[in-house]
Structures are given as C-alpha cells and as structure tokens.
Amino acid sequence: MVDKQEIDLDQERNEILNAYRGLLRASKNYRDKNDTQLIRKAFDIAVDAHNDMRRKSGEPYIYHPIAVARICVEEMGLGTTAIVCALLHDTVEDTHITLNDIEEHFGHKVRTIIDGLTKIPEVFDDNISLQAENFRKLILTISDDLRVTFIKMADRLHNMRTLDSMRPDKRLKICSETEFLYAPLAHRLGFNAIKTEFEDIIFKYKEPSIYEQIELKLEKTKEVRNRFIRQFTNPIKSRLDDELANYSIKARTKSIPSIFKKIQNKHVTFDEIYDIFAIRIIVDVPFEEEKPACWKIYSIVTDYYQPNPDRLRDWVSTPKANGYESLHTTVMSPSGKWVEVQIRTKRMDEIAEKGYAAHWKYKDNTAQDNTFDRWVGEVRALLENPDINAEDFIDEFKLNLFNDEIYIFTPKGDLRVLPKNSTTLDFAFDIHTDIGMTCIGAKVNGKLMPLSHVLESGDQVEIITSSKQKPKEDWLKFVASARAKSKIKAALKEEMKKIAADGKEILQRKLRSLKVNWSSENIQALERFYKIHGSTEFYFQIAKGKIDLSKIRQLEIKNYNFLAPKKTKSKDSSEEKVMQEIISGVNSKKDTIVIGENFKEFEYKLANCCTPIPGDNVFGFITATDGIKIHRTNCPNATQLMSNYAYRILKATWQSNRIKERLTALSITGLDDIGIVNSITNIVSGVHGVNMKSISFESEDGLFEGKIQLFVYDTEQLDELILKFEQIEGVKQVTRI
C-alpha cells in the first residue's frame, strides 16, 4: 500500500516540474542550448537548497523563485542571466548556499546580482530604520546593474499577488513598503503595468469596502461599456483597415485606485467620471515611420470625433523622463461623452508596459538613453553624499520618483526636463552645480524673475549669476528637485563645517582657561549638558554665540573630566528607556492591543492625526517619546510608519464598538440651496447618540463646501450619517476627513 504523503510528494514534484516547463516555454525566444543548461543548473540548485522550505500558504517554497523568474521573462522581457538570478535570489539569504558557491557555478556577474538581492542582516538599532537601509541597498544597485532592481520588483510583485496567505498585519506592512517605494520606483522605471497592479493590490487591502464597491460598479456597467466601445471604434476600424496594415485597438479600463482618486479630487460620483476607460490604438511600423503614423491615426480619429484642444498630450515628440511615449487626445463621442484615445506604436507600447527592461531591446533606435542616464547620474550623486543618513536618502530619492515633469528651454533652445513645481533655482542646478550655487535670479521669457519663481512647461530661462552669491538655508524651502536639494544641503554643511572650526577654537580656549583637558569624553559630556547631538552642530552653535559657555562652571570638574552635578537622567533618556521597555516587553507578532482594556501595564492613546473611532481598522505604534499610539490603517502617516519601523508596529482591535463617543469630521460638498444646512442639522439631531461639536459652510458660484465635527460611537453610526447626508437633494459628496 502506498503512503498518502508519498503520493502528495510525487504530485508536488510533478507540479514543480510543470512550473519549470512553463518557465522554459515562456523564455523560448530568449535562450539557446547553453542558456537552457544554465537555467536547468540554477533550477536544480534552487530545488535542492529550498527542499524543506514552505511558504505561508503551505506550498513548496520553490514555486516562488520560479514565479519570480517567469515574471522577469513574461512581464519584463528579461533574458537568461535574470532568469538564473531570479531562481537563486533567496538561496544565499535563506539556505546553506554562499556567494562563493554562486560564483563558482555561474560566474562573477551572477554573484554580483545575487549579492545585490540579498538583504542587510537584521541588526537592531533604534537610530537607524532597517527598512530604509534595505531600500538604500536596493537603490545602490540602480547605478550598478539594473537587473537587481528588476528582479527585486518581480519578487515584490509575486509577494503582493500571494498576500492572501499572510497575517493581516503582515499584509499591511508589505502594502505600506510597496506604496512607500516599490510603486513609485516601478513608475520611474517605466513599468506601468506593474505600478498599476501594485496600486490596485495596495488599495484592495487598505480600503477593502471601497474597492469592493467600485469593483461591483465596474462589473455592472461592463456590458454597456463594451457596447459603447464597439460603436465608437467601428468607423475608425473601417478607415484603418484601408490605410494601415498592422494595427490593433484595445480598451483599457481605469484602475480602481485611479477611479477613487478622481472621485475624491474632482468631487464627482462614479457615474460622472467620463474617462472610466480609454481606447488604445497600437500600430506596428518601422522606427523611422513611427511619428508620421501616430499623427495619421490622430487625423483619422479626429475626422470622426471632435477633439478637445486642451486635452492633447504629445509624448511622441517629447517623451516623459521614464521613457514613456504616446499621443493622447480626448474626443467627443456622438452620445455626448468624452473619450480618451491613446495612439502609440508597438515599440512604444512595449516600453510603456515593460519599462526600461524593454527599453534596452530598442536601445539603438531611441534617443531616451540620455534621459535615463541623467536620472541614474542624479541617484549616483545622492549616493556619493557621505553625510546623508538612510532615511534622509530615501526622502531625497523619492523626490525623483513620482513627480510629474515640465519641459523648459535654455536660451539656445535646448530642452531640459524638470519635476513639476520646479523654480528658476532648480533649473540653475539642473544646468550645472556651480551655476546653481551662484544664481541670483533669472530671465524667464525675457522678464526678470526671482530664484523662487515657479516655472511652467514651455518657459525659456536664462540664469543670472554673481560670484558673490552663496547658498542659503531658505533655498531649501522653494526647490522641488532632489538634485538641487542635495547640492544645497551639501554646500550648507560645508559652510557649517567652516563656521564650526571657529567654534571649536573658541571652546578650546575656554577649556584651557578652566585648566580642563581636551578629550572626546569631555566633549560628549558637554554635548549632553547642552542637549546638542553631534560635535559639528555643537561647535557651530558656539561660533554663532547661541551657547553660553559660562555655564560650564555648573559642571563638576574632577580628574580633568566633566561630570554632571546631579546624576539624574534627562527626559530624553528616560523617554528612550520607556520605548525600550515597551519593545522588549511585547511580542509584535502575537500581542494585540484590545482598546478599552489594560495592555501589559503600557499606556496607549488614540493618535490625533487620524482620530480613529470604534469600527476602524487600527494598529499600534510604539513612539519614541509618547508611549503607544493607535492609528487607523489608512492614516496618512501609516505607510511611512509601517514601511520604516515595522518592528514598532503592534496589532490592535476594539474591545467593543460602543466604548465611548469619539470626535470625527466630515466634509460635505454640493449645490448651494436654501435650507440645505437645516436639512443636515436635522439629520444629525435625528440620529441617536450623535452630538455635533462644530459646523461651518462656505459658498461660491452656486457650490457649497461644509465641514462638520461630530461625536460618534463607531463607524456603523458614522456610515449611517454619511448615507443620510448623501440622500439630501443637492449633496454631491460626503467624505471623512
């Protein structure tokens, strides 16, 4: 009789082999016989190394590296080296395999990529965000070998697709990390399809009820939408059949997060969004014929439908900084609905979906290398700054990711791409660091403008410099580009060091007069006494006259060492101790704060930034100075807290939905009408247990916007109120602030 477990294991082996064959089928256009042997060797090593490992779902771990390798091939268009590295990407971190083993079997290049994919060891340090350091290591690889970043992106995508098997708190942590860095990075590298999927999954887990509502509405309107698309595209197809050989027409439905964002920003309902979908026309022509072909299709579309001149976007003539090329226009359909039409070539479409991984395939035909190489140069400049810590680095780097772009011309007509909201000073630093450092103003379209003047696409800018000009701290307030911020901070630090040298000399003279030894221990004691962190800052404050050195006499001088007269711990150190006690006293994976009950003698409070109420999905965060704070999972600060400080996150839930009243706020917008305020206040007074703290309304051009602060017991009561407000005639939107 055959053991059941053996049957299961045999079945698993067959399924693993089937998954491997699927990878080979997907990569058949990317490999030869030697490549196949390399992939097989990597597969065999990975299977053996992960033999006894299983994922949270219970399935064999090897499914994950195979899936990551397949994403690299099918969705990124990467080749054999990437497949081998994807199959082996977790072996060094999680198994007995070493980097030397990798190099012995596959060579130095594969070793380098695997090393880049291996995380920093988890060394606990309160002063450094471990996740920020991991992000920094990922970003380091951008200027080294892009395949590290591509494989890491594929790894994260598969983890996001399999989130159902994770604990809810783990899901939110992974979603927050993805939202914080991976989605913006996918956008910047041109992985439009992956970026959209990231955002969709994040929204699904962070706002499950809203996601479900919009998904249901999309499903209900699907047939009507498809019928409209057929009617709209039929006349265009007839002309294209006659005039173009190879083309295709697709309909792309807007993602659920994009729909919700539009509802929020435009204050409209689902039914009022005109661009729920877009028509995409893709033509396959040689590179030299691309631009004329796109404009020819534009001409055909506008022969049938009237275009909106304000909605024409020409990214064929001037591609975006992430390589995106397409021609967008919005036209009026016979039924009176606006429809967005995107026109691009097969090459442009592949780059739009697969980003720079596809871009290398067409490298010889495009002029986009400079744009991307310039961006990598900016990243490298950030990395070369020795004074920047991991978290500041991530903040600076993120400035380069999600910003929209503007296009500015030099006096000679050269085109420069800058982040939206860039000023004349950003433009100066974009031209050259020395020009930025000495910039005193600019001529914008012939008119004299200050450093803080915000530029618009199409501006022609001439920078005015002076050898007497020096960077100022105020400059940081109005520059938008990471490059300018980084260069200004570096210059200010250099200037600070010069001033600090004078402060150091002043302190040395003071200590000599007191007959006190100059030593690092004494300097540290003084820093603690004056509550200043870092010797450079300390010397700088002395030079600026902001530190009273006469107070040194308050310290006891003993054996040429400073000792505080009282051995009482400062508030800062006691607060730090409290945080350490909480961290060491809880198990972040198992412990749950039940709000309304005592939690292991540790104090917790509701955060003011998001004012959670019973019924909200919440989590606890161990602060450095104020115990444990309870935040909503969709709090504006949640993404940063979960992605950077995961070890300080605790699960939390409500003891009961009706503990006590909590303050919350609603925003109401709609058509201004007599009696509408009275209708709103009547509803509030009619719902049992709800009290109103404040109400304010503003009206302009027939529209009103109101804000109400209310005391409610739970989200159920709040949802009841929102529903009743939405039923008032004239009210367009009700949102929780």
Q: Is 93 a catalytic residue?
A: yes
Question: What per-residue confidence (pLDDT) applies to 40?
Answer: 92
DSSP string, 50-107: TTT-B-TTSSBTTHHHHHHHHHHHHTT---HHHHHHHHHTTHHHHSS--HHHHHHHH-
Residue 581 and residue 549 share a domain: no
> How far is Cα 272 from Cα 263, in angstroms, rounded to an integer?
9
Is residue 114 one of the residues assigned to a domain? no
Is residue 190 one of the residues assigned to a domain? no
Characterise 601 by phi-psi region: left (phi > 0), alpha (psi -120 to 50), beta (else).
left
- Winning range, highest mean pLDDT, from 65-69, 218-222, 394-398, 500-504: 65-69
pLDDT tens by residue, 172-210: 888 888 888 788 888 877 788 899 999 999 999 988 989
β pairing state of 703-712 and 731-736: unpaired
| 269, pLDDT greater than 70 | yes
Question: What per-residue confidence (pLDDT) applies to 44?
Answer: 92
Q: Are 55 and 162 in contact (CB under 8 A)?
A: yes
Question: What per-residue confidence (pLDDT) applies to 564?
Answer: 46
Is residue 730 one of the residues assigned to a domain? yes
- Output the domain CATH number for residue 727: 3.30.70.260
Report the SS3 class of residue 341.
Answer: strand
> How far is Cα 358 from Cα 191, in angstroms, rounded to an integer?
9
Segments of 421-511 assigned E as strands:
439-444, 447-449, 461-465
Report, as an integer, the average pLDDT of 496-525: 81
Residue 360 and residue 221 share a domain: yes
CB atoms within 10 A of CB 107: 13
| Tokens describing residue 508 | 């040395």
Buried b (16+ CB within 10 A) or exposed e, 135-163: bbbbbbbbbebbbbbbbbbbbbbbbbebb
Residue 630 and residue 515 share a domain: no
- Output the domain CATH number for residue 356: 3.30.460.10
Q: Are 704 and 634 in contact (CB under 8 A)?
A: no
Which residues, including other chains, have CB under 8 Å from residue 681's CB and lie 6 or more apart?
Answer: 692, 695
> Of 339, 366, 393, which residue sits at a domain end?
366
Report, as an integer, the average pLDDT of 388-399: 57
Closest CA to 729 of 674, 692, 687: 674
Residue 307 and residue 233 share a domain: yes
> How far is Cα 420 from Cα 414, in angstroms, rounded to an integer?
18
Is residue 252 one of the residues assigned to a domain? yes
Closest CA to 709 of 729, 688, 731, 690: 690
Task: Kindly indicate the confidence band of residue 161, based on its pLDDT and cuts at 50, 70 and 90.
Answer: very high
> Of 305, 333, 366, which residue sits at a domain end?
366
| Tokens describing residue 71 | 């994403």
Is residue 105 one of the residues assigned to a domain? no
Question: What per-residue confidence (pLDDT) applies to 415?
Answer: 76
Is residue 56 one of the residues assigned to a domain? no
Residue 294 and residue 275 share a domain: yes
Residue 615 and residue 506 share a domain: no
Amino acid occupying residue 54: R
Question: What per-residue confidence (pLDDT) applies to 331?
Answer: 92
Buried b (16+ CB within 10 A) or exposed e, 680-689: beebbeeeee
| 3, pLDDT greater than 80 | no
Output the average pLDDT for the chain: 80
Residue 642 and residue 521 share a domain: no
pLDDT tens by residue, 683-733: 777 665 567 778 887 776 567 788 888 877 777 778 778 888 887 877 878
Report, as an integer, the average pLDDT of 388-415: 66
Q: Are 732 and 269 in contact (CB under 8 A)?
A: yes
> How far is Cα 83 from Cα 80, in angstroms, rounded to an integer?
5
Residue 251 and residue 316 share a domain: yes
Going 104 to 107 to 108 to 111, the CA torsion angle's sign is negative
DSSP string, 589-636: TT-EEEETB-BTTB-EEE-TTT---TTS-EEEEE-SSSSEEEEETT-T
Q: What is the pTM of this model?
A: 0.66
Residue 672 and residue 643 share a domain: no
Question: What per-residue confidence (pLDDT) applies to 366?
Answer: 47
Q: What is the 3-state secondary structure (H, E, C) of 37-64?
A: HHHHHHHHHHHHHCCCCECCCCCECCHH
Is residue 595 one of the residues assigned to a domain? yes
Catalytic residue among 44, 94, 494, 603: 94
Sheet containing 649-654: give its strands across: 592-595, 649-654, 618-622, 628-632, 604-606
Catalytic residue among 15, 48, 93, 505: 93
Domain that holds residue 272: 214-366
Residue 320 and residue 281 share a domain: yes
Q: Is 94 a catalytic residue?
A: yes
> Of 366, 398, 418, which residue sits at a domain end?
366
User: 208-220 and 222-243 helices cross at what angle (nearest 10)?
Assistant: 60
Closest CA to 64 of 102, 95, 36: 95
Q: For the chain, state the CA radius of gyration.
A: 30
Length of the chain equals 737
Task: Kindly indicate the confidence band of residue 592, based on its pLDDT and cuts at 50, 70 and 90.
Answer: confident
| 143, pLDDT greater than 60 | no
Residue 303 and residue 336 share a domain: yes
What percentage of the chain has pLDDT greater than the value 70? 83
Beta-ladder partners of 408: 416
Residue 641 and residue 684 share a domain: no
Report, as an integer, the average pLDDT of 116-143: 56
Is residue 153 one of the residues assigned to a domain? no
Domain count, the chain: 4
Report, as an integer, the average pLDDT of 343-372: 67
